[in-house]
Amino acid sequence: MPSQLANAIRFLSVDAVQKANSGHPGAPMGMAEMAEVLWTKFLRHNPANPKFYNRDRFILSNGHASMLLYSLLHLTGYNLSIEDLKNFRQLHSKTPGHPEYGYTDGVETTTGPLGQGIANAVGMALAEKILAAEFNKDGLNIVDHYTYVFMGDGCMMEGVSHEACSLAGTLGLGKLIVLYDDNNISIDGKVDGWFTENIPQRFESYGWHVVPNVNGHDTAAIQTAIEAARAETGKPSLICCKTLIGKGSANKEGSHKTHGAPLGADEIEATRKHLGWTYPAFEIPQEIYAAWDAKEKGAKLEAEWNELFAQYQAKYPAEAAEFVRRMDKKLPDNFDAYVQAALKEVCAKAETIATRKASQNSIEILAKELPELVGGSADLTPSNLTSWSNSQSITRNGGGNYVHYGVREFGMGAVMNGLALHGGVRPFGATFLMFSEYERNAMRMAALMKINPVFVFTHDSIGLGEDGPTHQPVEQTATLRLIPNMDVWRPCDTAESLVAWAEAIKAEDHPSCLIFSRQNLKFQARNEQQLNDIKRGGYVISEAQGNAQAVIIATGSEVELALEAQKALAAQNIAVRVVSMPSTNVFDRQDAAYKTAILPESLPRIAVEAGHADGWYKYVGLNGAVVGINRFGESAPAELLFKEFGFTVENVVDTVKSVL
């Protein structure tokens, strides 16, 4: 007979799904014993302080089982009431259909898109490893916690789980423990027709410690398996829990019909009888609450850690202050002044270099002030230029601040999200702009969660050249700008590159994409006002000589072209203003007066960007024009391609004249 503690999860889950008439009862019912053992015997957390620095992280990667997590949070004493459970899946509730970071205390990450939760968890375990190596001292291990994950067959099938778990094995993340809900069921039914790989062998080949064939309904067996996983410190662990979906359901146990639909009133009633649960819907007896309650244990745990930290603080005051600053996600006090001084130096140098090189120089500048930076690249470090003089590669045996992600763009993005969510580190990771496509859903999740990793992209256009259309982005910049709560920057020179980097670092509630060129771009001289206005996303980089007849808007490598066209038009007595718009997203947030001052409504506008044109009609209107690219590129040297696709002074001049 299942334990009453596990049954409390089962009935809260089926009652909430039934009341909402929507949701997934099968997984919470099947994983109830797994949850009972982990949360009552092992998980170190404090319901009264969900942000306790040294808590264990728990990730429900199969996010559709959200009622399992909400039940656990409610039962153990988090700020989640029975009324909140009754509001499951309702508008503005604390219990949305899939767990959402920021909505509910105790939810460590937003899960739902399968496979990303486990990848986030790899990032959290990696953050723990990095911070432990940096801050722990003999006998004073202030960073010392586990990351626990529940995942199901769906997560296992998603490619991103392969990417992240392969990396976790290579890096030897021994404090990552995954409990796999191996129930052989997905939405379409038994998985035997489409998912037959040997999971234990797969994870052993990654370098994981595997505990196979655990009875997922036997609490003693689960406990033994978790103890074995904790004893293996050099490898991440996978515990394969054989379970029945909908465990305990009187007539539907083991059926895919319990996956994504309420059990129905009759079946719930029959299940109450079957499991000897005599309490009405949403009622939990006091003795079961008492057995689950983790508040006292959690307070004691945090008090012990506070004592340890006080000892650490007395002995290592500077390190302690730095640790708190970083875990509280605060920038150094002098950060703005530091950036301003660095910007002056960058302008004094006035270098003509590729913006990918300007990006590397910016990283070098920022890393001196921000030891929390953790960089990385999806196997393109020499091309993305994301390393710096003090970057140290993270290995199996040590910490550091640079991750070699391998050719795993999606995995990289999702691991970066986990690093950011953990706190104490500020991740950035890079690939070619074209391969943002592989990373995109992780970027969307960062924006959705309002977290702030920095996604770095180089080789930003047909300027990539000979690698051809498979590697030349066309629609990528435009579509990245469409992601809500994402700032996209495409700088035109060294000054804009540093400002873009600084603004991305200062962002608290959104991620940023920084897009850089492969080819050299000329430095543009600016006065102080222009320098200050870069961070507003768009500004006048060159005023018309005389009364302006039109405005050219450009970004990145095309700013230089727009300025050349301005000169050529002036020679024909046509005065135009040139606006550099490194970030349309940031420009759109400016007040109406500023936007009108930069783009006067009375003047026709022409946008110039080596990417898809459609997004620019928002700024030029139907009476304006766009010099852009609406077809795939070609393989050829960059200078020939720019000519072929109309990125010439002559074509920009003709386009301006066509709207006058």
pLDDT tens readout for residues 490-512: 999 999 999 999 999 999 999 99
What mean pLDDT is predicted for residues 260-289? Answer: 97
Nearest C-alpha neighbor of 621 from the set 560, 556, 562, 551: 551
Nearest C-alpha neighbor of 157 from the set 207, 191, 124: 191
pLDDT value at residue 65: 98
* CB atoms closer than 10 angstroms to residue 459: 26
Q: What is the pLDDT of residues 79-104, one digit of tens each?
A: 999 999 999 999 999 999 999 999 99
- What are the angstrom distances between the C-alpha of 455 and each of 326, 497, 549, 568? 20, 14, 38, 37
In whole angstroms, give the CA distance from residue 43 to residue 37: 9
Residues 6+ apart with CB under 8 A from 194: 188
Question: By three-state DSSP, how is residue 543 classified?
Answer: coil
Q: What is the pLDDT of residues 33-54, one digit of tens each?
A: 999 999 999 999 999 999 999 9
Pairing of strands 237-242, 176-182: parallel
Q: What is the pLDDT of residues 183-211, one digit of tens each?
A: 999 999 999 999 999 999 999 999 999 99
**What phi and psi values does residue 257 have, to the nearest 5 degrees?**
-65, -15
* Distance in Å from the first CA to the final CA of the chain: 82
> At 117, is the pLDDT very low, low, confident or very high (cuts 50, 70, 90)?
very high
The tokens of 379 are what? 């196997």
Residue 476 has pLDDT above 90, yes or no: yes
DSSP letters, 284-337, are --HHHHHHH--HHHHHHHHHHHHHHHHHHHHH-HHHHHHHHHHHTTPPPTTHHH
Nearest C-alpha neighbor of 10 from the set 179, 244, 246, 293: 246
What mean pLDDT is predicted for residues 647-656? Answer: 98
Indicate the burial class of 603 (C-beta count within 10 angstroms; 0-12, 13-18, 19 or more): middle
pLDDT value at residue 589: 98
Indicate the burial class of 524 (C-beta count within 10 angstroms; 0-12, 13-18, 19 or more): buried
> At 2, is the pLDDT very low, low, confident or very high (cuts 50, 70, 90)?
confident
Active-site residue set: 409
Q: What is the pLDDT of residues 227-268, one digit of tens each?
A: 999 999 999 999 999 999 999 999 999 999 999 999 999 999
Residue 628 has pLDDT above 80, yes or no: yes
How high is the mean pLDDT of the chain? 97
What mean pLDDT is predicted for residues 456-464? Answer: 95
Bridge partner list, 513 = 455, 488
pLDDT value at residue 1: 64
DSSP letters, 106-175, are T--S---STTHHHHHHHHHHHHHHHHHHHH-BTTB-SS---EEEEE-HHHHHSHHHHHHHHHHHHTT-TT
- What are the angstrom distances between the C-alpha of 104 and each of 99, 100, 109, 188, 579? 8, 7, 10, 31, 43
Residue 555 has pLDDT above 90, yes or no: yes
Task: Answer yes or no: pTM beyond 0.95.
Answer: yes
In whole angstroms, give the CA distance from residue 637 to residue 642: 9
In whole angstroms, give the CA distance from residue 504 to residue 609: 22
Bridge partner list, 380 = none
Q: How far is CA 555 from the centre of its chain?
A: 26
Pairing of strands 625-627, 550-554: unpaired
CA dihedral sign of residues 205, 211, 213, 215: negative
